[in-house]
Amino acid sequence: MMRWSSLLVLVALASIINCIKAGSPSSALYSSAARASGRTRTIRGFKNVQLSTARGFGKRTYPDSQLQPDLIPADWMAEELSSNPELARFIIRRFIDVDQDGLVSPVELLRNTVCQEPN
């Protein structure tokens, strides 16, 4: 019985404290002032939402000399294709075998050399 009465007193005390805190004049004044000004309260040490968003991200301009595509040296590519059969198989299936029939025809193999002139 003692346990239930102490629990009841604790619950009653918590509800009284909650009512006092909710009805305090400082919270009422703050909420009405915040609604009137339309701004949020700034707490020192914390950034508000407007300052934490990125502005101007990724909008830097680079000279044309830095905007080159990634180039791979031909010697390195040949060495890599000879030592890595999975890469060679992927390159052939993806870029050379256009009709995806599993066979490379002379037309597929030479289509890039016929279409464009070397620089």
109 within 8 A of 96, measured Cβ to Cβ: yes
pLDDT at 82: 93
Residue closest to 96 by CA, chosen among 81, 108, 78, 80: 108
pLDDT at 19: 66
Q: Which residues of the chain have pLDDT under 50?
A: none
Domain map (residue ranges) of the chain: 1-40, 71-115
Average pLDDT, the chain: 73
Please write the tens of the pLDDT for every residue from 39-68: 666 666 666 666 666 666 665 666 665 656
